[in-house]
Chains A and B, each alone.
Chain A
Amino acid sequence: AAGVIQSPRHLIKEKRETATLKCYPIPRHDTVYWYQQGPGQDPQFLISFYEKMQSDKGSIPDRFSAQQFSDYHSELNMSSLELGDSALYFCASSFGRIRTDTQYFGPGTRLTVL
């Protein structure tokens, strides 16, 4: 079965640079969630989209922005990168008509900021 696709899988950036992470949800899934997981920590919710509209916002820095496109893929844009942004970034998707539907996670993007 098709899974969530994330790209790139690994990304190395310098401080103050920008980064763009991409997420392609499972086919027919219309809801995308972004999570950040620092070393030794649990995943923290950043932002979500349902039917191309932002549906919820968590602890996402103002330096980050995201959107969902007409084909339901999503991009997380990160600017003025800081050392503390180094983390695993997961995208998850669900068929979101029922808010409590199960979320399936992509393999993640490991971002390292030097």
Chain B
Amino acid sequence: QKEVEQNSGPLSVPEGAIASLNCTYSDRGSQSFFWYRQYSGKSPELIMFIYSNGDKEDGRFTAQLNKASQYVSLLIRDSQPSDSATYLCAVIKAGGTSYGKLTFGQGTILTVHP
């Protein structure tokens, strides 16, 4: 079992809809949670980060974290075709011998169709 699990999709939503991306993680020592967007052949681009339980909103994006359930999600409101990409969930386990390396999920492919 991967330490970070995502539905690989593809997830297809119509333009203007809400896209919901989910991620679970296995290590309760995980402290920081990130969502990256990656277009094919390009580098991961940071979308959101969240450290505390609850919701965090930034423009059309909302990240939700529930540490008790070991669950983190990303909502994209008013989805646009330009949002079509692979979304990577990543976690950092701070402390011990870990100095901030990101552990990624396998990514969810999102397609927003006009």
In the complex, chain B residues whose CB is within 8 Å of the CB of A44: 104
Q: Are B107 and A102 in contact (CB under 8 A)?
A: no
Interface size on A, residues (CB 8 A): 29
Which listed segment binds B: A14-22, A69-77, A78-86, A103-111?
A103-111
Q: For this complex, into which size category does the number of interface residues on chain B fall? A: 20 to 34
A99 CB contacts on chain B under 8 angstroms: 92, 94-95, 98-100
Residues in B neighbouring A106, C-beta threshold 8 A: 43
The verdict on A94 contacting chain B, using a C-beta distance below 8 Å, is yes
With contact pairs A42-B107, A99-B94, A100-B51 given, residues A55 and B99 touching in the complex (Cβ less than 8 Å): yes
State whether the Cβ of B44 lies closer than 8 Å to any Cβ in chain A: yes
Select which of B46, B94, B97 is within 8 A of A100 by beta carbon: B94
Interchain nearest-CB distance for A46 vs B (Å): 9
What's the Cα separation between A108 and B86 when bound, in Å? 16
Q: A45-B103, A58-B101, A96-B99 are in contact. Are A105 and B32 (CB under 8 A)?
A: no
* A110 to B97 CA separation, bound complex (whole angstroms): 30
Q: How far is the CB of B51 from chain A (nearest CB, A)?
A: 7
